Structure 1
Amino acid sequence: MTKELVFITIHGMGETEKEYYLGLKQALEKQLGEEIWSKVHFEPIYYQTALQHYQHSVWENMRHSTPLAWQDLRKFMLFGFSDVSTLEHRATDDGSVYKKIQKIIIYSLQVARKELETNNIPIVIVAHSLGCQVISNYLWDAQNNKGIWQTGSLDYPDFKSEQEDFLKLKSLKYLFTTGCNIPLFVAGFADIKAIPKPNADFKWLNYYDKDDVLGWPLKPLSPSYDLVVEQDIEIDSGNIWQSWNPQSHDGYWTDEEFINPLSQVIHSLIN
């Protein structure tokens, strides 16, 4: 069946299973029904392969060297905060982790493009936590010929010229961010700039929970964020064990307050 929409997910920080998206995917399939979902090309981006092997090695060395209390919390902090510190370390260097992650995004987009008949197909992206910063970086670099898009870079992607607009996400209609921690990356800058809109129809909807200490509103960041982000939407994320505390960070993608409007957007983009 001809696909009418590309739906992309990108995960957040910390130890992440390859099928991190299953709860969200199943909820959308149930909400939309088979007829609508069959017109969607679903493409999850999994960038932990650039990080997780090394993190596991460090964790095992630490864990076996001496008794450590609060191991679950320590592991979460080791994986999560090393993601953050490693992501943009020497980002402009050839072969950096930053560029490796961008190349993973490119590869996933190329996989999706093979299933489509045209470049000009609506794209919806759902990004969580650190993934919000990852996809924002990718969009910024694609728009400004930075990162892997810099001419002459050894990491410049290999692609068919007619695919460039798709790979640069020029038909991105909606960016949904959940538990977004972009403020942690930009708070120290005097001039905080958001990505320009990739097209006139683009909408950025940012979901946060007031109890999620890793998730923030974005419009107050700067005038450019206020202009580009359509709405900061506060929800009560997660189940009864999550919604009132920082564990709400992990509850967005199965919460009806998020699933319902996301489903409505997908439905509206399908003919």
Structure 2
Amino acid sequence: MKIAIAIVHGMGQQKLDFYLAMESLLIKKMALVNPSIQLHIEGVFWGDITDKLEKKLWARTQAIHQHHGKPTRLRSFVLNYLGDVIAYQAVPKENDPCPNDYIYDDIHKRYAECLLRLSKKAGENAPLCVISHSLGTIISSNFFYDLQNNKMIQKAADVINSSNSNLVKGQTLTHFYTLGSPIALWTMRFEHFGIPIRVPAPNLKKLAIGEWVNFYDKNDLLAFPIKGLNPQYYKNVSKDVEVRCPGILSWTPLSHEKYLKSHEVADQIVKSLSELGKKKEGK
């Protein structure tokens, strides 16, 4: 059995290979738990889209923010993190002079392209598992919300509509994992804390497969439990799971960066995907 996995990174400076540590953990662990399952894994890399704007901003402002002739590292850190959040949530306006610079749509296009690659590798009807971290949890939530509510914007919609794949259209989404998620903070924009995506995908509900698990480290200042946000979240989120992120600084807020290297997280994901395989195989 083939399972498609999309791994989505969070805020801050990222590299193209950001997902390889988690990929290695999942493949090795699945080989031991259920070797009949083939995992096809791709990363949704979007960091370079916001980095371009952040570099322009830095170039235009750093001259007035020097300390003994050197740019402050803390200011650079804040720009890399908060810049991603601010750039992503921009909203297009009527008569927009820069319609092609709509970051939200550009990032969602990357997301759709990743699903297209996964569909070609794992199959158009392969179960889809999404593992998202930090701001990537919000991006993933928005992407599938737009898919499930016919709100996808042009660039991403063009990629999705170019394929007849159920996977690309989000109809095979079975497992959703949010790691170090600031979704709770994001939902403060809404009076009743918003509407969550449906996991598994609406057309799979009757099959009683899949889950949405939210992993958080209590030392991570950006991560919150989300199941109790409102009745809709309570219904759609399977559970909040507290974990301890790896590393010598796991007791500090820097734990936010370590979820994608967590054996504890990988173990729980592999266990659930293995159970999905058994159900599909009728065991």
Match of 1:196 in 2: 198
Query: Helix, strand or coil: the match of 1:5?
Result: strand
Query: Helix, strand or coil: the match of 2:66?
Result: coil
1:10 corresponds to 2:8: yes
Match of 2:50 in 1: 51
Match of 1:226 in 2: 234
In 1, the alpha carbon distance for the partners of 2:245 and 2:36 equals: 24
The Cα shift of 1:167 comes to 1.6
TM-score, scaled to structure 2: 0.84
Match of 1:257 in 2: 264
Match of 1:85 in 2: 86
The Cα shift of 1:161 comes to 5.2
Q: Which amino acid aligns with 1:196?
A: R
Identify the match of residue 150 of structure 2 among 122, 130, 145. Answer: 145
Match of 1:133 in 2: 138
Q: Which amino acid aligns with 2:195?
A: K
Q: Which amino acid aligns with 1:22?
A: L
Q: Which amino acid aligns with 1:235?
A: V
In the TM superposition, what whole-angstrom CA distance separates every residue of 1:24-73 from its partner, at most 9, and x where no partner exists? 12222332339849822111110113211221233344445552478333
In the TM superposition, what whole-angstrom CA distance separates every residue of 1:71-92 from its partner, at most 9, and x where no partner exists? 3332221011111111121157
Q: Which amino acid aligns with 2:52?
A: H
Match of 2:186 in 1: 185
TM-score, scaled to structure 1: 0.87
In 2, the alpha carbon distance for the partners of 1:168 and 1:104 equals: 14
Q: For the Cα contact (< 8 Å) 2:127–2:173, is it kept in 1?
A: yes
1:172 corresponds to 2:173: yes
In 1, the alpha carbon distance for the partners of 2:244 and 2:122 equals: 37
Q: For the Cα contact (< 8 Å) 1:128–1:180, is it kept in 2?
A: yes
Check 1:37–1:98 CA distance in 2 against 1; reply closer, same or farther (3 A cut).
Answer: farther
Q: Which amino acid aligns with 1:166?
A: L
| Percent identity of paired positions between Structure 1 and Structure 2 | 26
What root-mean-square deviation, in Å, do the aligned CA atoms of Structure 1 and Structure 2 show?
Answer: 2.4
Q: For the Cα contact (< 8 Å) 1:29–1:37, is it kept in 2?
A: no
Deviates more, 1:154-163 or 1:195-204: 154-163
Query: Helix, strand or coil: the match of 1:51?
Result: helix
Identify the match of residue 21 of structure 2 among 11, 20, 23. Answer: 23
Match of 2:30 in 1: 32
In the TM superposition, what whole-angstrom CA distance separates every residue of 1:86-109 from its partner, at most 9, and x where no partner exists? 112115775411111111111111
In 1, the alpha carbon distance for the partners of 2:71 and 2:51 equals: 20
In 2, the alpha carbon distance for the partners of 1:168 and 1:130 equals: 22
In 2, the alpha carbon distance for the partners of 1:91 and 1:171 equals: 30
In 2, the alpha carbon distance for the partners of 1:261 and 1:194 equals: 22
Query: Helix, strand or coil: the match of 2:43?
Result: strand
The Cα shift of 1:209 comes to 0.9
Match of 1:247 in 2: 254
In the TM superposition, what whole-angstrom CA distance separates every residue of 1:125-149 from its partner, at most 9, and x where no partner exists? 100000000010011100111132x
In 1, the alpha carbon distance for the partners of 2:120 and 2:22 equals: 24
Match of 1:238 in 2: 246
In 2, the alpha carbon distance for the partners of 1:39 and 1:92 equals: 44
Q: For the Cα contact (< 8 Å) 1:91–1:98, is it kept in 2?
A: no
In the TM superposition, what whole-angstrom CA distance separates every residue of 1:185-238 from its partner, at most 9, and x where no partner exists? 211321321113313133100000111011111112111111100000011222
Query: Helix, strand or coil: the match of 1:120?
Result: coil
Deviates more, 1:154-163 or 1:100-109: 154-163
